[in-house]
Structure 1
Amino acid sequence: MERGTTKMTVKRVVVGMSGGVDSSVSALLLKRAGYDVIGVFMKNWDDTDEFGHCTATEDFEDVAHVCEQIGIPYYGVNFEREYEQRVFQYFLEEYERGRTPNPDVLCNKEIKFKELLDRALDLGADYLATGHYAQLRHNGDGTVELLRGADPNKDQTYFLHTLDQVPLKRAMFPIGGMQKPEVRAIAKEFGLSTATKKDSTGICFIGEKNFRQFLKTYLPAQPGMIEDTDGRVIGEHEGLMYYTIGQRRGIGIGGRNDSSGEAWYVADKDLARNVLIVAQGADHPRLFSTSLRASGLSFVDGKPPHPDEFRCTAKFRYRQDDQGVQVRMTGLDQCEVVFDTPQRAITPGQSVVFYDGEICLGGGIIESRQLVESN
């Protein structure tokens, strides 16, 4: 190298590729931006059916085809053991407790941005990129902020809220500033084989399977009584684990001559008596809460905005508009969240995620709720 010249170092990026259009375009954009890109496909679950069909095999074939089109190397990694131990067992334990977990949140924390990130670093990568709809802002003091994706219909910060500074400083979200139609348009423009592939939905290890049949394979069902909010027995349930707070379909009560004719909703679960409690009408007070308690808190910045109390907005489930709340810290990783207005179907086991405008602050797991009618 001649004196006075500067050697340019090309940054290496490992892209977690699922076989879908989002991660495909993420890899393409990084390659076109001049990065040294490697595609990695994770196999987290053996979904081979009775006929020997496995969707993971098809997804890996799609990854291979896209990587060949883009001109990047690709690998497959198997995290089935890690996923079973850290995500699936948690999933089963929560359902056994009568709660409704969100395994995607834990998968991002424990698998994608821990196991896959470690594997990326082993490959000499500077960054790990994924096809999430989220954005990052790097501040002058070296900290990183997690921002909502530009497409409000696809924003995935709800599922990324457990990530702190360590993984986020190594993360890249190439399509986070784009709208979904833009992503598909780019895939079509460059002829990527995944351009028109349908988005995956639901929990990866359940897929298209019947949820109740799947759960019954791992947990024994314990049928019991269904009571209305006045304590009258009005039916039988198949097992509390099959129901979630606010659920309307699949309760199996049907029409009753002594009721108003409105739909029935799951209002609560009495685990001690193995009783499912239902309320009639979507606006029944038993479905609404004024506050919740959460544990297992994690904040992107490593600490809450204020050590005692702070105002922000929050989501209690993925597809929900932000709600105004007051957060009161009650321990190192515990808090009480008081709602500006009563909230419907607050569900233990789900995540409460905090926001300050476009910034995702962090969140925790919902433990309990304060009902409107019990005030």
Structure 2
Amino acid sequence: MRVLAAMSGGVDSAVAAARAAEAGHDVTGIHLALSRNPKSYRTGARGCCTIEDSNDARRAADVIGIPFYVWDMSDEFHEAVVEDFMDEYAAGRTPNPCLRCNEKIKFAAVLDRAMALGFDAVVTGHYAQLETGPDGLIEMHRAVDMAKDQSYVLGVLTQEQLAHSLFPLGDSVKGDVREEAERRGLMVANKPDSHDICFIADGDNAGWLKEKLGDRAPNQGGDIVDQGTGEVLGQHEGTTAYTIGQRKGLRLGRPAPDGKPRFVLDIEPVSGTVTVGPREALRIDRISGVRARWCGTVPERLDGTVQLRAHGAEHRARITTSSSDGTVRDLVQIELLDPAEGIAPGQAAVIYDGSRVVGSATISATARSEALV
């Protein structure tokens, strides 16, 4: 096949490209320039958006012996990922920009352009496995190395996108990949993994949001209120500094009457009210989801599991789907048999049937049944 290898400048994408070439595919490497100003994004070999990363990807392509190009997708990235991230926080939600990037950039804009140029598939260094199911559809499964499994952030992919994707690292473990990179003479063999959000240079999400949102911020401050008593415990300078489940950084100056720490339970972006309370009040077992995306056949009902964070645990769950307009089943109701804590609107609920990824939905609301009250 004629395949396009998305090369971030990190070790995983380099080895994935090398394996694709070794398998006999006609491989062309590309690096996505996602920053309008690369110096404003994270530096220090973080494997994502910097000039150093572009150079690392180019050197890896030279070693593999494949053509290499840089695609400027900074405008698409800013609109679909960065602006979305700011809009979601301004609305009091907690988005996952990595899922949005996979959905809108790496497996939409890139794949569309690749197909238009005559490529058959896009290969990436994600840790997930693809196989053909008994119904002839392409199934995505968790990676062999559960510590590196990235199926959660790929849960937004559709059947059409999976049919034109290759994930050569799905059956590997990270240590073996680094050793293979060294054997192949790839200089990125010992390059650190990327972490956090690539477009926030110092990892200070709250500070970045405060600076970038400016007048778009929903409020410039408000009350921190105790859930149980309604007492105003303190003030804050903006709700974008808080997420559901947060414990540190509340700066209340006094403990709860029982001496236990308080956690953020709710964020109201219009009034600016941040509600805090005990950890047990974070427990939920009901989730509503919107904008569902399905990897294959859409289930009406499913007894499976859901994952609610990129590196979170699986929760046994009963999933029911419905339609908002009578055409596609884009709404999801999830009953957690294993309650979860600190789940916020805007996060993604990725649905599994065993190791197979069924699909995903954006969490719109959470609730506690009487059994948890």
Q: TM-score, normalised by structure 1?
A: 0.90
Partner of 1:268: 266
Matched-pair contact (CA < 8 Å) for 2:308–2:343: yes
Task: State the partner residue of 2:20.
Answer: 30
Partner of 2:29: helix, strand, or coil?
A: strand
Q: Distance in 2 between matches of 1:17 and 1:352?
A: 28
**C-alpha distance after superposition, 1:152-199 (max 9, x if no partner):** 011111111111111111100011110011100101112211000000
Q: Could you tell me how far 1:228 is from its partner in structure 2?
A: 1.1
Moved more, 234-243 or 93-102: 234-243
Aligned to 1:226: 224
Q: Which amino acid aligns with 1:68?
A: D
Match for 1:200 among 194, 202, 213? 194
Counterpart-to-counterpart distance in 2, 1:272 and 1:181: 47
Asked if structure 2 preserves the Cα contact closer than 8 Å seen for 1:342 and 1:372, the reply is no
| Residue 185 (1) aligns with residue 176 (2) | no
Q: Which runs of 5+ in 2 are unaligned?
A: 324-328
Secondary structure, aligned partner of 1:267: strand
Distance change >3 Å, CA 233–CA 315, structure 1 → 2: same
Aligned match of 2:326: none
Offset of 1:303 from its aligned partner? Answer: 1.6
Q: 1:269 to 1:216 in 2, by over 3 A?
A: same
Q: Partner of 1:115: helix, strand, or coil? A: helix
Instruction: Give the corresponding residue for 1:87.
Output: 81
The structure-2 alpha-carbon separation of the partners of 1:18 and 1:51, relative to structure 1 and needing over 3 Å to count, comes to: closer
1:322-347 Cα shifts (integer Å, max 9, x gaps): 11111122422112111113221121
Whole-angstrom CA distance in 2 between matches of 1:176 and 1:353: 18
Residues 1:118 and 1:330: Cα distance change in structure 2 (over 3 Å): closer
Cα distance in structure 1, aligned partners of 2:332 and 2:19? 40
Q: 1:145 to 1:278 in 2, by over 3 A?
A: same
Residue equivalent to 1:329: 321
Pairing of 1:1-375 with structure 2 (within 5 A): 11-49=1-39, 56-139=50-133, 141-220=135-214, 222-229=220-227, 230-256=229-255, 259-280=257-278, 282=279, 284=280, 286-304=281-299, 307=300, 309-331=301-323, 332-372=329-369
**1:302 Cα deviation from its structure 2 partner:** 4.4
Deviation at 1:52, TM superposition (A): 12
The one-letter code sitting in structure 2 at the alignment partner of 1:260 is D
Describe the shift of the 1:151–1:53 C-alpha distance in structure 2 as closer, same or farther (beyond 3 A): closer
Does the residue aligned with 2:293 lie in a helix, a strand or coil?
Answer: strand
TM-aligned CA distance change 1:103 to 1:53, over 3 Å: closer
1:297-322 residue CA offsets vs partner (Å, 9 max, x unmatched): 11111422xx2x22111111111221
Whether the 8 Å CA contact 1:288–1:372 is kept in 2: the answer is no
CA distance in 2, matches of 1:92, 1:301: 31
| Larger Rg computed on CA atoms | 1
Structure 2 counterpart SS, 1:252: coil
Q: Provide, for residues 211-235 of structure 1, a one-character-per-residue CA deviation record: whole Å limited to 9, x for no partner.
A: 2221112213521110111211111
CA distance in 1, matches of 2:110, 2:41: 30
Deviations 1:127-156 (A, max 9, x none): 110000001012364310011111101111
Deviation of residue 237 (structure 1)?
1.5
- Structure 1: how far apart are the matches of 2:113 and 2:358? 27
Q: Distance in 2 between matches of 1:52 and 1:98?
A: 25
The match for 1:6 is none
CA distance in 1, matches of 2:43, 2:16: 28
Give the paired residue count: 358
Inter-partner Cα distance in structure 1 for 2:38 and 2:171 = 36
Q: Between the two proteins, what is the percent identity of the paired residues?
A: 35
Single out whichever of 270-279 and 358-367 deviates more from structure 2.
270-279
How well do the aligned residues superpose, as a CA RMSD in angstroms?
2.1
Cα displacement (A) at 1:272? 4.4
How many Å apart are 1:249 and its aligned residue?
Answer: 1.5
SS in 1 for 2:193: coil
* Residue 113 (structure 1) shift: 0.8
Letter in structure 2 aligned against 1:37: V
CA displacement 1:78-135 (0-9 Å, x = unmatched): 1111112222222111111100011111111111111111222244221110000001
Distance in 2 (alpha carbons) for counterparts of 1:38 and 1:51: 26
TM-score normalized by the length of structure 2: 0.91
Moved more, 60-69 or 30-39: 30-39
Q: How far does residue 33 in structure 1 lie from its aligned partner after superposition?
A: 1.6
- Per the TM alignment, residue 250 of structure 1 is displaced from its structure 2 partner at its CA by 1.5
> Shift of the alpha carbon at 1:45?
1.8
Q: Following the alignment from structure 1 to structure 2, what is the Cα–Cα distance between the partners of residues 196 and 266?
A: 38
Secondary structure at the aligned position of 2:189 is classed as coil
Q: Indicate if the aligned counterparts of 2:159 and 2:294 stay in contact, CA closer than 8 A.
A: no
- Give 5+ residue unaligned stretches, structure 1: 1-10
User: What is the identity, as a one-letter code, of the residue corresponding to 2:296?
Assistant: D
Q: Secondary structure at the match of 1:111?
A: helix
Change over 3 Å in CA distance of 1:71–1:314 after alignment to 2: same
Cα distance between partner residues in 2 of 1:236 and 1:51: 31
